[in-house]
Amino acid sequence: MSGLERPIPDAQATTDDRRFMAAAIRYAQRHVGRTATNPSVATLIVRNDGAGPRIVGRGVTAVGGRPHAETVALAEAGELARGATAYVTLEPCAHHGRTPPCAEALVVAGIARVVSAAGDPDPRVDGRGHAILRAGGLAVTPRVMAAEAAAPISGYLTRHRDNRPEILLKMAVSTDGKIGIRGGGQVKITGQVADAQTHLERARHDMILVGAGTAQEDDPRLDCRLPGMADRSPNRIVLDPRLRTRPEQTLARTAADTPTLIATLSSADPASRAELARQGVQFIACEADPATGRIALPELLEDLAATGISSVLVEGGAETGASFLDGDLVDRLILVQGPVEIGETGVSAPIDVATARQRFRLVREYRFGEDHWFEFERRTA
Ligand code: AOF
Ligand code: ZN
């Protein structure tokens, strides 16, 4: 936090403050995964003319990242913003970007008080948003439900803090801890409801990642197939150091419709590369990890973060999952255990539920039909 931020909250949050902030945080969920490179945040403008508080303006960061939430909410409130309270899930911006600073817009609109949740780590903001509000004579109550507000923007916060996207590793495992059969194509482990949940996670991420082996053996589409949500498919990336991906694979054939990136070494065959590029595949030049010959993940993730990618869903296979786990790069882990037994010929998952319980913190556990859904998060020090 910058020196501009006051250490002591300006005023205590009331029950109503927490109620409206909780509503704003729920509203911010609406555009998660659709606002890159911006976080999805929300603003509620609330006024009380004596008959109790009522919402007169609502805004969530628009798809594509602009306009910002405050702009949308202030436009809806119009003159009713004068004297009202604004609930913002992220500190309002202080910089002249493609839009004028939201903090200034709140001052100009005559907002009397701002209740804000998460601080904005963007170096152009980082306390300056609140400072503009205070200089404009507004009362500011910062850090109300800050932890809850951080959840929908966790990728954005990770990108600023660690210079890499947030990583969710998701794997379906059989009762005997296998994820598939080598050379056996896709093996169905989980049922419909768990699959729909997976597609929801796809929609919430900026990018979905698989290894070249999985891309070849499973020939996946890696899109969001929930009804009405086809346009929420994330961009795709394949870790393919030796460029094994073939033009007839689904990912290559659909690259013109869904942005598809191949992470490969500079030694990759130029002819294969040119052929895939003609199909619309894009490339990101990578370095090799000297010990394994695999793609060096920290450097790749840093490059992705530099392009504004805040969240990556890693979906397979075992080797790829293992390299993220080995590099301590997994922030969230979802293991879905289906009722299937695969047996000796199966490929073992790089982590099982028992080990995950020790290494990570179990945050949610669901039963979807016959499937067990376990959701873990990194243990914080
Ligand atoms: C807000 N309200 O709804 C969002 C904010 O490139 P720009 O000009 O759109 O600015 C991007 C930055 O704006 C981003 O890094 C973050 O600091 C902030 N996001 N701020 O006041 C919003 N999405
Ligand atoms: Zn803004």
What pLDDT digit, counting tens, does each position of 233-255 carry? 899 999 999 999 999 999 999 99
The one-character DSSP state at 160 is H
Does 99 contact ligand 1 (Cβ within 6 A)?
A: yes
Query: What is the rounded average pLDDT of the residues 130-135?
Result: 97
Encoded tokens for 161 = 């803090």
Given the CA of residue 35, which atom of ligand 1 is nearest to it?
23
| Pocket lining: 28 vs ligand 1, CB cutoff 6 Å | no
CATH of domain 3-153: 3.40.140.10
Cβ of 142 closer than 6 Å to ligand 1, yes or no, is no
What average pLDDT does the segment 74-80 reach?
98
Domains 3-153 and 163-378 share a fold: no
Respond yes or no: is residue 70 known to be catalytic: yes
Q: Can you say whether the dihedral through the CA atoms of 321, 289, 239, 32 is positive or negative?
A: positive
- pLDDT higher than threshold 50 for residue 62: yes
Predicted local confidence at residue 11, as pLDDT:
61
Q: What is the pLDDT of residues 355-376, one digit of tens each?
A: 999 999 999 999 999 999 999 9
> If you take atom 20 of ligand 1, which residue's CA is the nearest one?
93
pTM of this prediction exceeds 0.75: yes
For a substitution probing ligand 1, which of 25, 30, 37, 38 has the most ligand atoms within 8 Å of its CB?
38
Tell me the pLDDT tens digit for each residue of 187-235.
Answer: 899 999 999 999 999 999 999 999 999 999 889 999 888 998 888 889 9
Tell me the C-alpha distance between 324 and 359, whole Å. 14
C-beta atoms surrounding 106 within 10 Å: 28
Dist. CA 70–CA 84, nearest whole Å:
13
298-309 burial string, b = 16+ CB within 10 Å, else e? eebbebbbeeeb
**Contact present, 85 and 58 (Cβ < 8 Å):** no
Which residue out of 93, 98, 128 has the highest number of ligand 1 atoms within 8 Å of its CB and is therefore the one to mutate?
93
Cβ proximity of 331 and 224 under 8 Å: no
C-alpha distances (whole Å) from 22 to each of 26, 65, 67, 72, 319 are 6, 22, 22, 19, 40
pLDDT band at 89 (very low <50, low <70, confident <90, very high): very high
How far, in Å, is the centroid of ligand 1 from the Cα of 68? 6
Pocket test for ligand 1, best of 44, 58, 60, 68 (most atoms within 8 A of CB): 68
What's the sign of the alpha-carbon dihedral 352, 354, 357, 358?
negative
Residue nearest to atom 17 of ligand 1 (CA): 122
Q: Is 66 in the pocket of ligand 1 (CB under 6 A)?
A: yes
Q: Are the C-beta atoms of residues 172 and 179 closer than 8 Å to each other?
A: yes
Topology classification of domain 163-378:
Dihydrofolate Reductase, subunit A (3.40.430)
> What is the per-residue pLDDT across 270-322, written as a single tens digit (0 to 9) for each?
999 999 999 999 999 999 999 888 999 999 999 999 999 999 999 989 999 99
Cα separation, 222 vs 234, in Å, equals 8
Domain ranges of the chain: 3-153, 163-378
List, in sequence order, the alpha helices (H) in 86-211: 102-108, 128-135, 146-150, 154-162, 192-204
* Ligand 1 neighbourhood includes 133 CB (under 6 angstroms): no
Write down the pLDDT at residue 2: 47
The CA 228 to ligand 2 mean position distance, Å, reads: 29
pLDDT average, residue stretch 16-24: 96
Q: Which residue minimizes the CA distance to atom 2 of ligand 1? A: 68
Residue 120's SS3 state is coil
Average pLDDT, the chain: 93
